């Protein structure tokens, strides 16, 4: 079953006199449970594509569907609700709140979702245990390495039980050893929990793990690779 569908989507940005076709008449279908890498040089449209899928950016042309429902015409409050309850996000800079512990960073999403305190506690401990990072629960970001912060960011992204996780260069600030650990955790979530992952990346390690690689250039799909 498809989870994301784009039909003839275009997005243009203006930089002074210059017009940039960030996404150019792009059509795409992502099915549930896929582990997809979107790759291409800087400026190829990777991040814009992720932002359009999540509703952060609205296309100038075309249609965007999520779980069978058109979302590019939704008002911002409905899109915010959709992102909170159905989508998880992982960033290259981790984006953990420095004054909160790992547990509190993850709990914040559940609090916004209105999950009761006892259920928040259960789900946080369950996901930290599943990811093998229970020892980080009470640490603040400054007390963690970059790899540990990114693993906590993964926990935060999935604790709210999203249908899809959008990851923008999630290993860009990690060494190869920590990149491997982070990718392994995301692959485990994909396989064992059925969460769909879409990455924008330059990382060969993510490309090796991806089941499908979408190559972008100048906002267009150049080619796709699928692994059996």
User: Is the distance from CB of 110 to CB of 124 less than 8 angstroms?
Assistant: yes
Cα separation, 109 vs 11, in Å, equals: 30
Domain positions in the chain: 31-58+75-226
Neighbouring C-alpha atoms within 13 Å toward the C-beta of 49:
37
Backbone angle region of 139, left / alpha / beta, with phi > 0 → left and psi within -120 to 50 → alpha = beta
**Maximal C-alpha separation, the chain:** 55
CATH match of 31-58+75-226 with 3.40.50.300: yes
Residuewise pLDDT in 10s, the chain (228 residues): 899 999 999 999 988 888 889 999 999 999 999 999 999 998 899 999 999 999 999 999 999 999 999 999 999 999 999 999 999 999 989 999 999 999 999 999 999 999 999 999 999 999 999 999 999 999 999 999 999 999 999 999 999 999 999 999 999 999 999 999 999 999 999 999 999 999 999 999 999 999 999 999 999 999 999 986
């Amino acid at each position: 079953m498809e989870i994301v569908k784009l039909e003839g989507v275009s997005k243009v940005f203006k930089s002074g006199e210059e017009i940039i076709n960030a996404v150019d008449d792009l059509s795409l279908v992502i099915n549930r449970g896929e582990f997809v890498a979107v790759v291409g040089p800087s400026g190829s449209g990777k991040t814009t594509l992720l932002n359009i899928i999540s509703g952060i950016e609205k296309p100038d042309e075309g249609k965007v569907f999520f779980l069978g429902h058109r979302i590019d015409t939704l008002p911002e409050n409905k899109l915010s609700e959709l992102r909170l309850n159905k989508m998880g996000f992982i960033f290259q800079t981790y984006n953990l709140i420095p004054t909160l512990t790992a547990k509190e960073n993850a709990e914040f999403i559940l609090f916004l979702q209105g999950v009761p305190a006892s259920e928040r506690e259960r789900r946080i401990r369950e996901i930290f245990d599943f990811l093998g990072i229970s020892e980080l629960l009470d640490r603040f970001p400054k007390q963690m390495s970059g790899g540990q912060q990114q693993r906590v960011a993964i926990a935060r992204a999935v604790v709210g039980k999203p249908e899809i996780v959008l990851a923008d260069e999630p290993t860009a600030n990690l060494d190869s050893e920590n990149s491997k650990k982070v990718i392994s955790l995301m692959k485990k979530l994909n396989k064992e929990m059925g969460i769909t992952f879409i990455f924008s990346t330059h990382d060969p390690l993510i490309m090796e793990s991806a089941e499908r690689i979408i190559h972008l250039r100048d906002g267009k799909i150049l080619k796709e690779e699928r692994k059996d």
